[in-house]
Amino acid sequence: MAFLKCSMLLCKVTLFLLLSLLDVGEGQYKGLRKFSQVQDSQHWAASEEQWFIQKLDHFNGADSRVWKQRYFVNETFYRPGGPVFLMIGGEGPANPAWMQYGTWLTYAEKLGALCLMLEHRFYGKSHPTVDLSSDNLRFLSSRQALADLAHFRTVLGEKHGLSNRKWVAFGGSYPGSLAAWFRLKYPQLVHASVATSAPVHAAVNFPEYLEVVRRSLASENAECPDLVKKASDSLAERLKDPKTYDNVTKDFNLCSTLTIKTETDSAYFLETLAGNFMDVVQYNQDNRAFEGALGTNITIKVLCSMMADTSLGDPYARYAAVAHLMMETFSIKCLDASFSNYVRDMTNTSWDGPAAGGGRQWVYQTCTEFGFYQSTDSPNQPFTGFPLQYQVKQCADFYNVSADQVAEAVAQTNEYYGGYDIRSSRIVFPNGSIDPWHALGITQDISPDLPAVFIEGTAHCANMYPARSEDLLKLSLARDHIFLLLQQWLKE
């Protein structure tokens, strides 16, 4: 999914092309789009991992099973009496790079804060159960994750004499929502939260995502979305005629000859290719400081110039050229566009399995809590062929969760957290104008105590990354503004 993230983060759903690309060793997350995560192996060694004994089920007093949850500490900036900053892990391995880089550390330095990061249950090395069977995934939910945070905060507070310090939660993307909800549900444990690019409103269908992708492409070049639309329509048209399959296979450098037996096969292929654009828009160039993940040269500008380059052929041929560029950039030998391989990977329940880096877990959370399906069910978006129905059906294919159950679960999530109507205090909601996720976030001040910080021109989680000299002025101002809010709140 265009996932993970800012954070360390979230992603959607599919093992897209990028997945195979980003698969660095131990089954990292694949799928970056939805919420993606920064993965930079060269920074992994520095901060030593530590382990916390955590309860398996916080909502059943008769269940005393426990497991080990991973966390990281950086006490470089801590001054006695200072606050405690807690970075919340999300839908992928917690990335120790955050213990050395990032705007929150700048704040920590100025405020004398102790920095902690807790990995989310079921991701990375935090394994509460022996495998990822649907039965065991029952213990994977944002509610359990918040209770993990509460228990961690309580026990560490007591053990290290930090109970009376002011704790501040940080998170970007899905963990941004967790940061807001942690303050909402456990106000006595968390003094304030910075909820960056947080999709606090759950929705089964999320066609707005692709609408924002359209606007982001258009802001680079007004023709760009129409060229993408032409290419994507023309590809969809070819998929209806088996005589074209040999050519399409060559054009997109597929690993095996294209076979389209069902609508699902075609939807998966079209979604995979749209993923090239979705991922680049979500992260654009804001996380380049971290390299790895999508920290490449490839920006919206690069994709739109290729789509406008007549020397590459018609729009269809340019779309294929974009796919080739992505494969070269990530050293992918060929594109696996087979839905049956995807199902095989997503239903593997082993911790060593191909989707255990986060794909299987995150899609489970979308099926049982959030939805967030980035469907093409809107006329105002530039892609073709992956309707909501195709996405929801995966819940049944992977976890035996029906469409009705998905709808009910999403409604319940909003009932539990309040969706856009969150009632709390001391939570700041930064949002980037070109981040597709802002559509589900808080983009206007709810109250003086629940301010939004809107950052014109930036993508997902931009304010969390380390500052760079070429950052937009608005981004620098936003970082300063968030700092002033924290400073003020810590005095309260």
Ligand X SMILES: *[C@@H]1O[C@H](CO)[C@@H](O)[C@H](O)[C@H]1NC(C)=O
Does position 443 interact with ligand X (CB under 6 A)? The reply is yes
Nearer to ligand X, 247 or 340 (CB): 247
Does position 444 interact with ligand X (CB under 6 A)? The reply is yes
Does position 366 interact with ligand X (CB under 6 A)? The reply is no
**Window of 273-281, 300-308, 349-357, 377-385 that interacts with ligand X by CB under 6 A:** 349-357
Q: What is the DSSP letter of 163?
A: T
Which residues in 136-195 contact ligand X (CB under 6 A)?
Answer: none
Among the listed residues 23, 435, 438, 471, the single catalytic one is 435
Could you give the residue ranges of the DSSP H alpha helices within 285-399?
300-307, 315-329, 339-346, 359-365, 388-399
Q: Own/partner pairs for 438-445, CB < 8 Å, 24+ apart?
A: 438/197, 438/212, 439/206, 439/208, 439/209, 439/211, 439/212, 440/199, 440/200, 440/201, 440/202, 440/203, 440/206, 440/208, 440/372, 441/176, 441/197, 441/198, 441/199, 441/200, 441/201, 442/195, 442/198, 442/200
Side-chain half-sphere exposure of 423, counting CA atoms within 13 A: 3
On whether the CB atoms of residues 366 and 13 are closer than 8 A, the answer is yes
Q: With both helix axes pointing from N to C terminus, report the angle between 224-238 and 263-283 in degrees, rounded to the nearest 10.
A: 160
Residues with Cβ within 8 Å of 224's Cβ and at least 6 positions away in sequence, in order, are 217, 218, 303, 304, 307, 308
Tokens standing for residue 109:
């330095």
Does position 394 interact with ligand X (CB under 6 A)? The reply is no
Among the listed residues 36, 142, 173, 338, the single catalytic one is 173
Does position 458 interact with ligand X (CB under 6 A)? The reply is no
Tokens standing for residue 261:
């037996």
**Window of 82-90, 185-193, 381-389, 447-455 that interacts with ligand X by CB under 6 A:** 447-455
Among the listed residues 43, 191, 201, 460, the single catalytic one is 460
Least distance in Å: CB of 61 to ligand X?
27
Q: Judged by CB under 6 A, which of 452, 467, 472, 490 binds ligand X?
A: 452
Which residues in 413-432 contact ligand X (CB under 6 A)?
Answer: 431
Does position 70 interact with ligand X (CB under 6 A)? The reply is no
Q: Judged by CB under 6 A, which of 136, 219, 253, 348 binds ligand X?
A: 348
On whether the CB atoms of residues 294 and 279 are closer than 8 A, the answer is yes
Nearer to ligand X, 55 or 201 (CB): 201
Least distance in Å: CB of 374 to ligand X?
17
On whether the CB atoms of residues 85 and 170 are closer than 8 A, the answer is yes
Which residues in 234-263 contact ligand X (CB under 6 A)?
Answer: 243-244, 247
On whether the CB atoms of residues 461 and 7 are closer than 8 A, the answer is yes
Which residues in 282-301 contact ligand X (CB under 6 A)?
Answer: 296-297
Nearer to ligand X, 74 or 144 (CB): 74
The yes-or-no answer on residue 197 being catalytic is no
Does position 106 interact with ligand X (CB under 6 A)? The reply is no
Tokens standing for residue 189:
């444990």
Helix or strand (DSSP H, E) at 209: helix 208-220
Residues with Cβ within 8 Å of 379's Cβ and at least 6 positions away in sequence, in order, are none
Of 303, 307, 302, 285, the residue nearest 294 (C-alpha): 285
**Window of 160-168, 275-283, 348-356, 419-427 that interacts with ligand X by CB under 6 A:** 348-356
Q: Could you give the 3-state DSSP secondary structure of residue 204?
A: strand
Instruction: Give the per-residue contact string, 301-330, with ligand X (x = CB under 6 A; - = no).
Output: ----------------------------x-
The size of the interface with ligand X (CB under 6 A), counted in residues, is 27
Q: Judged by CB under 6 A, which of 199, 353, 357, 359 binds ligand X?
A: 353
The yes-or-no answer on residue 256 being catalytic is no
The yes-or-no answer on residue 58 being catalytic is no
Binding interface with ligand X (CB under 6 A): 46-47, 74, 76, 99-100, 105, 243-244, 247, 296-297, 329, 348, 350, 352-354, 400, 431, 433, 438, 443-444, 452-454
Active-site residue set: 173, 435, 460
